[in-house]
Structure 1
Amino acid sequence: MKSSYILVVDDEPDIRETVKEILEDEGYLVATAKNADEARHHFREHLPDAVLLDIWMPDTDGITLLKEWSEMSGGKLPSPVVMMSGHGTVETAVEATRLGAYDFLEKPLGIAKLLLTLERALQSSRLQLQANDSLHAAPFIEPTGSSQAITRLREQVKRIAQHDSWVLMSGEAGSGRETFARYIHANCTRAERPFVHVAVSSIEAGNAALELFGREEGQKIDYGRLEQARGGTLFLDEVADMDADVQKRLVGALDTGSFLRVGGSEPVHLDVRIIAATQKNLEDEVNEGRFREDLFFQLNVVPVVIPPLREHEDDVIELLNFYVDHYSSRERLPYRRFDTAAQNYLRQYQWPGNVRELKNLVQRLLIVGGDEEIEVSEVESAIGILSSSGQSAGISISFDQPLREAREDFERAYFIYQMGKHDRNVTQMAEEAGIERTHLYRKLKSLDIDVKAKRK
Structure 2
Amino acid sequence: MAAAARVLVVDDEPDIRSTIRDILEDEGYAVDLAESAAAAREARRRQRPDVVLLDIWMPDLDGVSLLREWNERGGLPCPVIMISGHGTVETAVEATRLGAWDFIEKPISLAKLLLVVGHALEAGRLKRENEGLRRQLPAPGDLVGSGRAMQALRAQIDKIAAHDTGVLVVGEPGTGKETIARALHDRSARRAGPFVTVAAGAIARETAALALFGAEDANGVQHGLFEQANGGTLYLDEVAELDPELQLRLSSVIERRALIRCGGHEPVALDARVIAATAHDLGALVAAGRFREELYYQLKIVPLAVPPLRERGDDIPELLRYHTDWFANRDQLPYRNFPVAVQNRLRHYAWPGNLRELRNLVQRLLVLGSTSEVTLEEVEAALGSGGAVAAPVPGVAGIDFSLPLREAREQFERAYLLHQLDAAGGSVGKLAKAVGMERTHLYRKLKDLDIDPRMPAREGQGVPTP
Per the normalisation by structure 2, the TM-score is 0.83
Q: Give the aligned partner of residue 127 of structure 2.
A: 128
CA distance in 2, matches of 1:400, 1:339: 32
Code of the aligned partner of 1:17: S
Q: 2:389 aligned with 1:398, yes or no?
A: yes
Q: 2:345 aligned with 1:345, yes or no?
A: yes
Trace 1:267-286 onto structure 2 (pairs within 5 A): 267-286=267-286
After superposition, the C-alpha distances for 1:430-455 in whole angstroms (9 at most, x for unaligned) are xx99xxxxxxxxxxxxxxxxxxxxxx
CA distance in 2, matches of 1:43, 1:70: 14
CA distance in 2, matches of 1:87, 1:414: 68
Q: 2:211 aligned with 1:217, yes or no?
A: no
After superposition, the C-alpha distances for 1:392-440 in whole angstroms (9 at most, x for unaligned) are xxxxx935366999568352327999xxxxxxxxxxxxxx99xxxxxxx
CA distance in 2, matches of 1:256, 1:117: 34
Code of the aligned partner of 2:126: L
CA distance in 2, matches of 1:194, 1:39: 24
Q: Secondary structure at the match of 1:277?
A: strand
User: Is the Cα contact below 8 Å between 1:44 and 1:266 reproduced in 2?
Assistant: no
Code of the aligned partner of 2:41: R
Q: Give the aligned partner of residue 119 of structure 1.
A: 118
Q: Give the aligned partner of residue 52 of structure 1.
A: 53
Q: 2:14 aligned with 1:23, yes or no?
A: no
Q: Give the aligned partner of residue 448 of structure 2.
A: none
Code of the aligned partner of 1:253: V
Query: CA offset at residue 368 of structure 1?
Result: 2.8
Between the two proteins, the alignment pairs up a number of residues equal to: 408
CA distance in 2, matches of 1:77, 1:414: 47
CA distance in 1, matches of 2:340, 2:212: 48
Q: Give the aligned partner of residue 377 of structure 2.
A: 377
User: Is the Cα contact below 8 Å between 2:161 and 2:188 reproduced in 1?
Assistant: yes
Query: CA offset at residue 130 of structure 1?
Result: 1.3
Q: Give the aligned partner of residue 238 of structure 2.
A: 238
Gaps (5+ residues) in structure 2? 412-440, 443-466
Trace 1:39-438 onto structure 2 (pairs within 5 A): 39-73=40-74, 76-135=75-134, 136-138=136-138, 141-385=141-385, 398-400=389-391, 409=403, 411-413=405-407
Per the normalisation by structure 1, the TM-score is 0.85
CA distance in 2, matches of 1:205, 1:306: 29
CA distance in 1, matches of 2:340, 2:324: 15
CA distance in 1, matches of 2:333, 2:7: 44
After superposition, the C-alpha distances for 1:225-247 in whole angstroms (9 at most, x for unaligned) are 00111111000000011011111
CA distance in 1, matches of 2:182, 2:119: 25
Of 21-30 and 182-191, more deviation after overlay is shown by 21-30
CA distance in 1, matches of 2:48, 2:350: 47
User: Is the Cα contact below 8 Å between 1:367 and 1:416 reproduced in 2?
Assistant: no
Residues 139 and 374 of structure 1: CA distance in aligned 2, closer, same or farther (over 3 Å)? closer
CA distance in 1, matches of 2:390, 2:76: 54
Query: CA offset at residue 163 of structure 1?
Result: 0.7
Q: 2:13 aligned with 1:9, yes or no?
A: no
User: Is the Cα contact below 8 Å between 1:84 and 1:104 reproduced in 2?
Assistant: yes
Of 145-154 and 134-143, more deviation after overlay is shown by 134-143
Q: Secondary structure at the match of 1:373?
A: coil
Gaps (5+ residues) in structure 1? 388-396, 418-431, 434-456
After superposition, the C-alpha distances for 1:83-107 in whole angstroms (9 at most, x for unaligned) are 1101111211111122121112222
User: Is the Cα contact below 8 Å between 2:377 and 2:386 reproduced in 1?
Assistant: no
Residues 107 and 193 of structure 1: CA distance in aligned 2, closer, same or farther (over 3 Å)? same
Residues 367 and 93 of structure 1: CA distance in aligned 2, closer, same or farther (over 3 Å)? farther
CA distance in 2, matches of 1:238, 1:214: 21
CA distance in 2, matches of 1:415, 1:290: 34
After superposition, the C-alpha distances for 1:265-303 in whole angstroms (9 at most, x for unaligned) are 221111100000000000001011111001111111100
CA distance in 2, matches of 1:273, 1:139: 23
CA distance in 2, matches of 1:192, 1:355: 28
Of 134-143 and 174-183, more deviation after overlay is shown by 134-143
CA distance in 2, matches of 1:222, 1:168: 28
After superposition, the C-alpha distances for 1:290-321 in whole angstroms (9 at most, x for unaligned) are 11001111111100010100011111111111
After superposition, the C-alpha distances for 1:366-408 in whole angstroms (9 at most, x for unaligned) are 2334211111111222233378xxxxxxxxx935366999568
After superposition, the C-alpha distances for 1:43-68 in whole angstroms (9 at most, x for unaligned) are 00110111111110111111111112
User: Is the Cα contact below 8 Å between 1:6 and 1:31 reproduced in 2?
Assistant: yes
Residues 102 and 384 of structure 1: CA distance in aligned 2, closer, same or farther (over 3 Å)? farther
Q: 2:38 aligned with 1:37, yes or no?
A: yes
Residues 331 and 118 of structure 1: CA distance in aligned 2, closer, same or farther (over 3 Å)? farther
CA distance in 2, matches of 1:194, 1:16: 28
Of 84-93 and 111-120, more deviation after overlay is shown by 111-120
CA distance in 1, matches of 2:219, 2:194: 26
Q: Secondary structure at the match of 1:374?
A: coil
